[in-house]
């Protein structure tokens, strides 16, 4: 039997309609519009594509959304001064610095200077620390792992007790927060990475396998335990050798066509985890705006979503 293909676009739409409702309620009850500021430095085309989508979706959610596009040669003091102004601006509830930054800028310094309550990427040490200590109520969680977690919960429910999870990749942006979310949901978690020995065998032990390595089709069918849930976070652009007429297409870190006959549920690329990232960014912005205004959580919760 073939695996259930998890529809990330559908789940992202549900999150976005919830966010829309929360934004409207904030407007009606408090006359406050959630505000998102996105900073992009330089002209990396992929980053510009992502940022344009973030800004557009924020507008569709009824947010006020400002994009700050800075030239590649921007000095660190200028970037820090802009973050400082946005930190002080009460109409801005969320600040996001698109990564990667040009190499002369210190990305960590920039991110750590964002006020934790406006850090909608969840990368500030305060937010990372809250997640690490299991405080899921007052911090902000990194968007891609939060989105991947919703997809996992849709398949397996919110209590993963007794299940083993393997996360391949240990970045601050994804692997570490993903492992912590799984741990908070009671899974038994292994973090695998480029120095892990016998990676296929480690992966084969997983009831939940999450791949975030950036190597196309690395996870093969014989790496997957029969019946596992497989979450593919890879976005790799490859030359398109099919007859579609396009030059390139996106593939994940998982060999989808082979793995789908072994797994029980699997996310596709595109259309799996990808759409969830922007949706969760909007959810974090609505959450930050509600907390700043009403000192409470917004009128949505993810249990409403499925
Ligand atoms: N670059 C790639 N993914 C992300 C993300 O989730 N947040 C930021 N700020 N930059 C990114």
The CATH number covering residue 57 comes to 3.40.50.10860
pLDDT for the residue 240: 87
Residue 188 within any structural domain of the chain: yes
Residue 36 within any structural domain of the chain: yes
Is 81 found in the same domain as 34? yes
Which residues touch 186 (CB under 8 Å, ≥6 apart)? 159, 160, 161, 162
Stated length of the chain? 306
Is 211 found in the same domain as 105? no
- Residue 99 alpha carbon, nearest atom of ligand 1: 10
Is 170 found in the same domain as 89? no
Residue 136 within any structural domain of the chain: no
Is 56 found in the same domain as 171? no
Q: Catalytic site residue 217?
A: no
pLDDT for the residue 84: 98
Is 269 found in the same domain as 150? yes
**Whole domain around residue 229: which residue ranges?**
143-275
Q: Are 28 and 286 in contact (CB under 8 A)?
A: no
Residue 6 within any structural domain of the chain: no
Is 155 found in the same domain as 62? no
User: What are the CA-CA distances from residue 61 to residues 14, 131, 266, 271 (Å)?
Assistant: 12, 26, 28, 20
Is 158 found in the same domain as 36? no
3-state helix, strand, coil in the chain (%, to 5): 45, 15, 40
Residue 131 within any structural domain of the chain: no
Domain C-terminal end among 64, 97, 115 = 115
* Region of residue 87 (left: phi > 0; alpha: psi -120 to 50; beta: else): alpha
Residue nearest to atom 1 of ligand 1 (CA): 99
Is 51 found in the same domain as 109? yes
Is 254 found in the same domain as 156? yes
Is 184 found in the same domain as 256? yes
pLDDT for the residue 20: 94
Domain C-terminal end among 79, 96, 115 = 115
- Closest residue by Cα to residue 192 from 202, 178, 206: 202
pLDDT for the residue 244: 76
Task: Compute the distance from residue 47 Cα to the ligand 1 centre, in Å.
Answer: 8
Q: Please give the tally of structural domains in the chain.
A: 2
Indicate the pairing of strand 248-251 with strand 236-239.
Answer: antiparallel
pLDDT for the residue 247: 86
Candidates 44, 45, 50: which one to mutate for ligand 1, based on the most atoms within 8 Å of Cβ?
Answer: 50
Residue nearest to atom 4 of ligand 1 (CA): 99
Q: Are 19 and 279 in contact (CB under 8 A)?
A: yes
> Where does 4-134 show beta strands of DSSP type E?
4-5, 35-41, 64-70, 94-97
Is 110 found in the same domain as 152? no
Residue 295 within any structural domain of the chain: no
The CA radius of gyration of the chain, in Å to the nearest whole number, is 19
- 38 vs 98: CA distance, rounded Å: 7
CATH code for position 228: 3.40.50.720
Tokens representing 236 are: 């790799």
- Residue 100 alpha carbon, nearest atom of ligand 1: 1
Is 90 found in the same domain as 152? no
Task: Compute the distance from residue 294 Cα to the ligand 1 centre, in Å.
Answer: 28
**Per DSSP, what are the bridge partners of residue 5?**
266
Which residues touch 262 (CB under 8 Å, ≥6 apart)? 3, 221, 224, 225, 226, 228
pLDDT for the residue 301: 57
Which residues of the chain fall below pLDDT 70? 299-306
pLDDT for the residue 18: 93
Residue 248 within any structural domain of the chain: yes
Residue 253 within any structural domain of the chain: yes
The dihedrals phi and psi of 26, each to the nearest 5 degrees, come to -65, -40
Candidates 41, 99, 214: which one to mutate for ligand 1, based on the most atoms within 8 Å of Cβ?
Answer: 99
């Amino acid at each position: 039997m073939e695996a259930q293909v998890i529809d990330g676009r559908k789940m992202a739409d549900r999150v976005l309609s919830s966010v829309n409702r929360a934004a409207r309620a904030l407007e009606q009850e408090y006359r406050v519009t959630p505000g998102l500021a996105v900073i992009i430095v330089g002209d990396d085309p992929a980053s510009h594509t992502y940022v344009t989508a973030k800004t557009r979706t924020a507008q569709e959610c009824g947010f006020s959304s400002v994009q700050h596009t800075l030239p590649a040669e921007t000095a660190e003091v200028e970037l820090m001064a802009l973050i400082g102004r946005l930190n002080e601006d009460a109409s801005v509830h969320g600040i996001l610095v698109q990564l990667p930054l040009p190499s002369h800028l210190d990305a960590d310094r920039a991110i750590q200077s964002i006020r934790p309550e406006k850090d909608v990427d969840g990368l500030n040490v305060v937010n990372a620390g809250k997640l690490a200590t299991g405080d899921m109520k007052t911090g902000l969680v990194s968007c891609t792992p939060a989105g991947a977690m919703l997809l996992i919960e849709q398949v397996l429910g919110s209590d993963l007790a007794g299940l083993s999870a393997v996360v391949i990749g240990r970045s601050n942006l994804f692997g570490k927060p993903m492992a912590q979310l799984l741990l908070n949901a009671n899974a038994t978690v292994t973090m695998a990475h480029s120095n892990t020995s016998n990676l296929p065998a480690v992966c084969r032990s997983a009831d939940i396998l999450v791949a975030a390595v950036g190597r196309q089709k690395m996870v093969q069918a014989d790496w997957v335990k029969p019946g596992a849930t497989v979450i593919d976070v890879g976005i790799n652009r490859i030359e398109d050798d099919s007859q579609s007429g396009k030059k390139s297409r996106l593939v994940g870190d998982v060999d989808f066509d082979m793995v789908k006959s072994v797994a029980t549920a699997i996310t596709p690329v595109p259309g799996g985890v990808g759409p969830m990232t922007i949706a969760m960014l909007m959810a974090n912005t609505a959450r930050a705006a509600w907390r700043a205004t009403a000192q409470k959580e917004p009128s949505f919760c993810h249990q409403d979503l499925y």
